[in-house]
Amino acid sequence: MIISTKDLRFKISAIFKILSKGEKIIITYRGKAKAKLIPIENEKRNREDIAFGMWADKNDDVYKFVRKLRKSRKFD
């Protein structure tokens, strides 16, 4: 569904009903798409997939990598 910023301001309860049905909403500003609202259930699944995909092509252990980043530096 596509809505304008005016609709977002004045019809927020209707927008939440649409989101609860699982539908995505595109928000337009002056006729151009500016943002997308996604129901929270879909967002949780997408986040896990994105985080997993970041390390899919690496053989490094994530925990070792983070520890190395957090390790303090010594200056001479």
pLDDT tens digits, one per residue of 34-56: 999 998 875 555 555 555 666 66
Residue range 10-32: mean pLDDT, rounded: 92
d(CA 24, CA 22): 7
Fold observed for domain 2-70: YefM-like fold (3.40.1620)
Map out the domains of the chain as residue ranges. 2-70
Q: What is the pLDDT of residue 3?
A: 93
pTM metric for this prediction: 0.51
Res. 61 pLDDT band, cuts 50 70 90: confident
Token representation of residue 5: 């910023």
